[in-house]
A and B are shown apart, each in its own frame.
Chain A
């Protein structure tokens, strides 16, 4: 068993870290406060091919393996969770599924613009009455000749307000007592499509989260991903992959909590010595470091299993669950170590704390991850 990263993975880490520290770190706090994505960062991230991270180069992507994609996501997440999800979400749950499940024609048509970032992608599942319960989707797609007409709405769509290409989960009727779900690739320039309310959030505030409205949006039948009725199966597969990248982003955020805590503990003097010399503070830092490292190992294992073609769904769920809860604890302690300063916007840990809470909720809540892991265990050891 080899825990060493390859030289290529090390260069991905070094390059992404240097880029994030130079371009994103100086604007992260302001982007959070103004809820905006910095355009200069966006241009550089497009140029560096982050948006096509794991898409093969023949479709305009970077051609990284999943572990490379994970490392890049972690390093961006170490500086700014908003940027991490802004690129890793579309790259993992919009473009990558098109690569995996799309026809050759769909890949040629959609992947180059998604990979270059010329068109941002979004995967839209959640609705007012569906999210964790994917089966309850109400966005309807009604066949009309060689087109489908979409009606309904989606909420909490990551990149929703700025996306140009959507993977939308719709219902195309019922089969027996179950809804039939079908997934469409939707161009947001299509008439009848509009962006509704943009959410004002607690955390990851720079990231665009919006409501999307579909009123008689006509989508050609050739834009169905997979086959009609494959929607539920594809949704589960897509979320499995996306979870690895979410775990990576959250590991990066946890790492940031750890590093800022250590820096502050070494600088802050009380009772005539740095607070880091007190055992009470050291214990907090020890727990953070241990839990973040464990989260990282779970995440890298999930990525590795994916790269060697083995089943990674369960480990990916464990990684997302453990990383998000470990990072929430780390953020909690990071603010505690910073004392009253940690409550102010002068210190990054205030932002990390808000961002960490989001991590326990989006892309599958901790409760959903436990359902996935628990039911898997009950099947495995029955």
Chain B
């Protein structure tokens, strides 16, 4: 079995800074880190590698310095890593990103002669964009099933058993089979720190770099031209006004919220 883990480098700051001219994140001088939920994805992959004799593959799309998050994935126990990097990929929204990732996964599957016996694990969402779209769109590009908000995952032979809870406190149990894409949340597991040996090994491994040509990418579907989202304005919202936290069952919270909205004449 092959397990792909898609990871993302995100700014390691609580308050982001935005370039007012380009509406892009200012990354210069800002420390970066691996997206927290991606660590849960890596941890699951490493656990499955040990129990199911799987080969694990880390992937990211980003500038050359994004290699650092792949080193982190390798240090945590991922076997090999691919960096998709090209100035043509710049400005990609989730659609262009998932298209690019799908090309790399298809290429690796072909190289490794794998048809169905694979699993893709993503963090549910990244703390910078918080869209939660890249995983689902990647599954669509590949034409495979997807399960989001995964809190528990078991693999029994070819059968995958997934638990997710969403909005209500009820837990949904899903049974399916591979191939499959999971996007996982923090409750899934407790990612372990890399060992000192893992860190040493991570820097002895080669990371494969692929550009748009390597992936035979359709240039209309990558980077800014391939993006459907155009950012008009981006800002850190200022906290103002009073905060009221509603607690209780979803039904109770919905009713209270409607009451508030009616009182404020929004509804």
* Cβ 8 A contact of B199, one of A11, A18, A47: A11
* Cβ 8 A contact of B195, one of A7, A8, A18, A48: A48
- B interface bracket (residues with beta carbon within 8 Å of A): 10 to 19
B203 and A53 contacting across the interface, CB-CB below 8 Å: no
Residues of A contacting B: mostly: helix
Residues of B contacting A: mostly: helix
A62 and B197 contacting across the interface, CB-CB below 8 Å: yes
A152 beta carbon closer than 8 Å to chain B = no
B75 and A11 contacting across the interface, CB-CB below 8 Å: yes
Which chain A residue has the least Cβ–Cβ distance from B75? Answer: A11
Q: Please give, as numbers and ranges, the residues of chain A lying within 8 Å of B62 by CB-CB distance.
A: none
- Please report the C-alpha to C-alpha distance between residue A63 and residue B204 in the assembled complex, in whole angstroms: 11
B16 beta carbon closer than 8 Å to chain A = no
B164 beta carbon closer than 8 Å to chain A = no
CB distance from B76 to the nearest CB of A (A): 10
- Please report the C-alpha to C-alpha distance between residue A61 and residue B197 in the assembled complex, in whole angstroms: 7
- Please report the C-alpha to C-alpha distance between residue A53 and residue B199 in the assembled complex, in whole angstroms: 11
A57 beta carbon closer than 8 Å to chain B = yes
A63 and B195 contacting across the interface, CB-CB below 8 Å: no
CB distance from B201 to the nearest CB of A (A): 8
A64 beta carbon closer than 8 Å to chain B = yes
A362 beta carbon closer than 8 Å to chain B = no
B210 beta carbon closer than 8 Å to chain A = no
B197 and A11 contacting across the interface, CB-CB below 8 Å: no
- Please report the C-alpha to C-alpha distance between residue A53 and residue B200 in the assembled complex, in whole angstroms: 10
Which chain A residue has the least Cβ–Cβ distance from B65? Answer: A7
A282 beta carbon closer than 8 Å to chain B = no
A49 beta carbon closer than 8 Å to chain B = yes
Q: Known contacts A8-B203, A11-B202: does B196 contact A68 (CB below 8 Å)?
A: yes
Give residues of chain B (183-215) contacting chain A, Cβ–Cβ below 8 Å: 192-197, 199-203
From B68, B75, B196, B203, residue with most partner A Cβ within 10 Å: B196
B98 beta carbon closer than 8 Å to chain A = no
User: CB-defined interface of A59-97 with B at 8 Å, one 1/0 digit per residue?
Assistant: 001111000100010000000000000000000000000
- Please report the C-alpha to C-alpha distance between residue A19 and residue B196 in the assembled complex, in whole angstroms: 12
Q: Please give, as numbers and ranges, the residues of chain A lying within 8 Å of B60 by CB-CB distance.
A: none
- Please report the C-alpha to C-alpha distance between residue A52 and residue B200 in the assembled complex, in whole angstroms: 13
From B68, B72, B203, residue with most partner A Cβ within 10 Å: B203
From A12, A47, A50, A53, residue with most partner B Cβ within 10 Å: A12
B200 and A63 contacting across the interface, CB-CB below 8 Å: yes
A277 beta carbon closer than 8 Å to chain B = no
Q: Please give, as numbers and ranges, the residues of chain A lying within 8 Å of B68 by CB-CB distance.
A: 7
User: CB-defined interface of B61-88 with A at 8 Å, one 1/0 digit per residue?
Assistant: 0000000100110010000000000000
List 12 contacting pairs A-B, 8 Å CB cutoff, sorted by A: A7-B71, A8-B199, A11-B72, A12-B199, A15-B75, A47-B192, A49-B197, A52-B197, A53-B196, A63-B197, A64-B196, A72-B196
Residues of A within 8 A of B (CB): 6-8, 11-12, 15, 18-19, 44, 47-50, 52-53, 57, 61-64, 68, 72
